[in-house]
Amino acid sequence: MSENKTKYAPWIALPIVAVIAFGLGGWLLGGTKAPEDRAQEHEHEAKETIWTCSMHPQIRQSEPGQCPICGMDLIPVEGEEQDEGGAKRVTLSERAKMLARVRTVQAHRLGTGRVERRLLGRVDYDERSLRTVTAWIGGRIERLHVATTGERVKRGQVIATLYSPEVYNAHQDLIQARQQLERLQEGATPSASRAAQAALNAARDRLRLLGVPDAEVRSMERAGKPSERVRIRTPFRGTVIERLATQGNYVETGSGLYRVADLSTLWVQLDAYESDLPVLKAGQEVVLRVEALPGELFKGRVTFVDPILDPQTRTARVRIEVNNQDRRLRPGMFVEASVRSDADAEPALEAPLVVPATAPLFTGRRSIVYVEVEGTEAPTYEARVVTLGTRMGELYPVLAGLHEGERVVVHGAFAIDADLQIRGGDSMMNLEIDDDTPAEPEAAHEIHQRASPERGKTAAPKRRPKSKAAPKPNAPETPAPAKPAAPTGHEHHQHMQGHQH
């Protein structure tokens, strides 16, 4: 039995040895190939490594070195993939999007060209109804019958009483002329009667020229003695908005006593900016909302657009005429007006592509919006240079650079732009302008040039002149041989003792 086991032992061991040898060979071959694959992968990663500056992330180089702006050593940025348009794109995680509160809306076209514009202003007097009640005779003010502003007066109402020596003399002459005519009526010659009648008419005319009404002249003519006082009546009706005289003052002929305004019709003076003027014209209907009367609407029409701008506020006055028979509106009230532009008068604004006013970022010469990129796994946004038209209320018309249906960022655009700038991408501060991109108005371009004359050239920053002692970026730095340190007193003592031994 032992002889049979010894006889078949080599045949049993041979397959075992073959299996072990095959496995060992495969392991050896695999072990030699894995380092090569790892080397190739490492080399591939090394090729994709980008070097940047921690202080100036817009510096991007494919090899190590020093920052051409500050001279700091560049650091590697690994694992960053740059697809087509990656320099203008930002990819955020869902958490980053939530923290930045990013909101997007769709760029759409207005169904009609009628755009509502909101303007601010205040209620004012109708300048055509302003009147000044004056003293038609000189004298001292004995009494003011209207002592406070805000009172309403009627036409012909007595508003003041004056002491006037001139009226006293004229009244005395009138009484004497009347008495003389009465005495000459019995047995007087016709010529004497005519002379007495002419003197009476002259005395009447004198009082009329002084401003005394006919009814007052007739009453004064019947008086037995001359009066020292005269009553001043207002020829206008309205509300007293200013008192110009004080009781006891002396006034001259033509001096103002009161200023009166008719409040049945008022003006609303609106402030319109330059961008609002092209769509404003006389005859447009306006809806007014008054802060003091919430929930109530007043209607009026544009009657005048000031052709001159205020150099301080850069606004022009727009006048609205409003009926105020019920006296609910008062001068000085703040008003918010809604004006709708007419599509027929503004064909260029018919069905424009518009975005909210919070979407664009302005840099002086450029207007940039961030557009949501479709078909990406993570939220991705791309910077886009657009050309905008005149602002229309809370909207901007887009003339070029955007298509209908694209979603633009209306909240969180600054956070996205800051992230793109930190990554060294083409943010709004260093985004290059294409030659075919229309520029903003010339004034804004000049301001932009004065503020940042080198903007748009960050792709080729000026390098500092390197000193002769600066090492090359690719050459390894050779450390200088260190000088031997001077021995301390204790080491020198031990060295002398060793030397003696």
- Give the pLDDT band (50/70/90) at residue 318: very high
Residue 487 placed within a domain: no
Q: Where is the domain boundary, 235, 260, 285?
A: 260
Do both 150 and 248 map to the same domain?
A: yes
The letter for the amino acid at 215 is A
Do both 120 and 268 map to the same domain?
A: yes
User: 375 vs 446, which has greater pLDDT?
Assistant: 375
Q: Where is the domain boundary, 205, 237, 260?
A: 260
CA distances from 50 to 57, 77, 90, 203 (A): 11, 5, 17, 109
- Give the pLDDT band (50/70/90) at residue 18: low
Residue 460 placed within a domain: no
Whether pLDDT at 458 is above 60? no
Do both 254 and 401 map to the same domain?
A: no
pLDDT in tens, 418-438: 888 777 677 777 666 554 444
Do both 297 and 228 map to the same domain?
A: no
Half-sphere exposure of 49 (CA within 13 A, CB side): 14
User: 7 vs 458, which has greater pLDDT?
Assistant: 7
Do both 268 and 314 map to the same domain?
A: yes
| Tally of domains in the chain | 4
Query: Poorest-confidence range of 28-37, 334-343, 354-363?
Result: 28-37
Do both 374 and 437 map to the same domain?
A: yes
Q: Among positive and negative, which fits the CA dihedral 58, 61, 66, 72? A: positive
Q: Mean of the pLDDT values across residues 346-367?
A: 75
Number of H-type helices and E-type strands within the chain: 8, 26
CATH number (domain holding residue 328): 2.40.30.170
CATH number (domain holding residue 138): 2.40.50.100
Range of the domain at 181: 130-260
Residue 476 placed within a domain: no
Give the number of other Cβ atoms within 10 Å of residue 395's Cβ.
18
Supply the pLDDT for residue 408: 93
Residues 318 and 267 sit within 8 Å (Cβ to Cβ): no
pLDDT in tens, 22-47: 666 555 555 444 455 554 555 545 45
Residues 290 and 335 sit within 8 Å (Cβ to Cβ): yes
Residue 388 placed within a domain: yes
Give dist(CA 343, CA 352) in Å, integer.
11
The letter for the amino acid at 321 is E
pLDDT in tens, 368-413: 999 999 888 888 998 888 988 877 778 888 888 888 889 999 998 8
Residues 78 and 378 sit within 8 Å (Cβ to Cβ): no
Do both 312 and 271 map to the same domain?
A: yes
HEC string of 407-472 equals: EEEEECHHHHHHHHHHCCCCCCCCCCCCCCCCCCCHHHHHHHHHHCCCCCCCCCCCCCCCCCCCCC
For the record, the structure tokens of 487 come out as 């021995």
Do both 421 and 396 map to the same domain?
A: yes
Query: What is the percent of the chain with per-residue pLDDT over 70, rounded to a whole number?
Result: 70
- Give the pLDDT band (50/70/90) at residue 111: low
For the record, the structure tokens of 300 come out as 């009026």
Can you give the C-alpha Rg of the chain in angstroms? 48
Distance spanning both ends of the chain, measured CA to CA: 82
Do both 154 and 223 map to the same domain?
A: yes
Residue 457 placed within a domain: no
pTM exceeds 0.75, yes or no: no
Q: From 241, 244, 217, 245, select the one nearest 231 (Cα to Cα).
A: 217
Q: From 119, 108, 117, select the one nearest 392 (Cα to Cα).
A: 117
Q: What is the mean pLDDT of the chain?
A: 75
Q: In residues, how long is the chain? A: 501
Residue 72 placed within a domain: no
Fill in the DSSP letter of residue 235: S
Supply the pLDDT for residue 153: 92
Residue 126: partners with Cβ closer than 8 Å, 6 or more residues away? 261, 262, 265, 266, 267, 321
Residue 430 placed within a domain: yes
CA distances from 401 to 22, 362, 368, 379 (A): 66, 15, 9, 21
Residue 288 placed within a domain: yes
The letter for the amino acid at 118 is R
Do both 395 and 312 map to the same domain?
A: no
pLDDT in tens, 245-300: 888 888 888 889 999 999 999 999 999 888 788 888 888 889 999 988 888 899 98
Do both 327 and 239 map to the same domain?
A: no
Give the number of other Cβ atoms within 10 Å of residue 194's Cβ.
12
For the record, the structure tokens of 8 come out as 């078949």
CATH number (domain holding residue 423): 2.40.420.20
